[in-house]
Amino acid sequence: MHVPRLSAVALVWFALGAPVARADGLQNLDAFIRHSRSGSADFTQTVTAPAKPGQPARVKTSSGRFEFQRPSRFRFDYQKPFVQTIVADGKTLWLYDADLNQVTQRAQAQVLGQTPAALIAAAPDLRALQAEFTLAAAPDRDGLQWVSATPKQRDGQLQQVLVGFDGERLAALEIVDSLGQRSVLKFGRIEVNPALPASTFEFKPPAGADVLRQ
């Protein structure tokens, strides 16, 4: 069965105790979740696959638009180099590959809590992330404050996520999957708490598309 190119991102798409004394990535993540009930941003994604013996690592770059509304609704529209879409409508997670005219449909409750989208878009509050991820402040770098998120479920596709913040502003995601593939998403033109129509998070498979239910 063909696996959609974006599944590593979508299933590719965070334990906190007492408050820390200084501002760090954990505090910025907490503030981002509390103050950003919806949002939109442009993104650029770079995916680096592990190098094979005698060959350089393969690097692919794509770009598009990201939108979310808490709780549990988000949308990634990949525009270049291929048109692909990920939509979480609150019940179902849809992955659409326009080139293949193929849709993958999954029950959102079964997969969403273990994805990076739970960190930045779906979780209603920081405590909601504790069951799925262990969180820790990571060292500052590249002018950003970072949070390390390690899934508590070790048999999934996701190995580790780093979330980068510029203050309360979401700036970057770094994702490593179980195959060693590394995805880096950088966000720009971020709008916080825009009024997004309900249709933003609706998806209907195009006529003639092959729909795979998992």
Q: In angstroms, how far is the first alpha carbon of the chain from the final one?
A: 12
Going 146 to 165 to 162 to 91, the CA torsion angle's sign is positive
Q: How far apart are CA 49 and CA 180, in angstroms?
A: 7
pLDDT digits (tens, 9 = 90+) for 72-93: 899 999 999 999 999 999 999 9
- Cα 70 to Cα 112: distance, rounded to the nearest angstrom: 13
**pLDDT at residue 191 greater than cutoff 70:** yes
24-34 pLDDT, tens digit each? 888 999 899 99
pLDDT tens for each residue of 94-116: 999 999 999 999 998 877 666 78
43 pLDDT higher than 70? yes
Unique residue bearing structure tokens 């404050």: 145
Q: Which residues contact 54 (CB under 8 A, 6 or more apart)?
A: none
Examine the pLDDT at 173 and tell me if it is beyond 90: yes
